[in-house]
Chains A and B, each alone.
Chain A
Amino acid sequence: MSEAAVALHFNVDGEDFTSAGQASVQVKKSLRQLGIDSEIIRKVSIAMYEGEINMVIHAGGGEAHVLIYEDRIEIKLDDHGPGIANIEMAMQEGWSTAPDNIRSLGFGAGMGLPNMKRYTDDMKIDSVVGEGTHIVMTVNL
C-alpha cells in the first residue's frame, strides 16, 4: 500500500450548524489546487459534505481525514455519536431519524448516506450503537 501523497485533517464542530460544510469546501479548494478533475472534485466534496452534515446532525461532530493517493482519494469519517442501529435502513433513500428543526433547514431528507454511496466508488460503514461510526469512502482517480 503506497503512502498518501497528500493528507488533510479536519475537526467537524458538532455545535455549530451554520459552519457545517467548511471542511468540504476546504477539500474542494485543495483538490482544485492539485489539478484534480472537476467531476472527481464534485463527487468527493459532495460525499464529504453529506458525511460532515451527518456528523453534525447525529453525532455531535467528529473527525474527517482526506487522503489523496496516486490512484484514489479516501475520505475517512470518525465520530463518537450514537451509532447506526440499522445500516440497511439508513442506506435507503428517504429514511431519516433527523429531528424537525433539522428538516426545517432543508436537511433530513434521508439522502445523506445514499448520496455518499452514489458519489463514491466504494463505501464501508463500521458502526456500533452507543460507541460511534467509522466510514471510509473511496473515489478512484
Chain B
Amino acid sequence: MKVNELASALRLQSITEPDGEREIDGCYIGDLLSWVMGRAQSGNVWVTIMSNINIVAVATLADVSCIVLAEGVTVEDSVKAVAEAKGVNLFTTPMTAYEIAAKIAALTV
C-alpha cells in the first residue's frame, strides 16, 4: 500500500506529501527520537506525538515512509517547510496512536 492510499483510507490530514507514491511497510510508534531511530524500520509509518523540527531529520535518517502525528498534534510552519524540502511525508489525525496502528494493521497485515 502506498502512502497516499493510506492517507486516503484513514482520512489523514496532509501537512506535506512530497512522496505520496512511497510504499509503506509496517508501523512504528514512539516519541523518544533516538529510540525510534534505533528501532524503526525502513518504510515504516512512524506514529508520534512529537512535533519539533528534529522529527524531520529522524524520519529522513530512519527512512520511514511517512510521519503520522496522532491526537490532533500539528507542527509549526517552519517544520512543515523543512519536511517539504527534505521530501518527508507528514500527516496529522485526531486518532490515537493505537487507533492508527490498528487500522494500518487491518488494511495491510
Contact = CB atoms under 8 A, between A and B. Distances in A.
A102 to B, nearest CB: 10
Interface string B12-31: 00000000000000000001
A106 B38 contact: no
A21 B42 contact: no
B32 interface: yes
A28 B33 contact: no
Interface in B49-80: 50, 52-58, 60-63, 78
Interface stretch (A76-84, A112-120, A128-136): A112-120
A105 B38 contact: no
Nearest to A41: B63
Interface residues of B, number: 22
Contacts, number: 72
Given A50-B37, A107-B34, A115-B34, A42 B63 contact: yes
Contacts of B11: none
A39 B61 CA distance: 11
Contacts of B31: 106
Interface of B: 31-35, 37-38, 42, 50, 52-58, 60-63, 78, 86
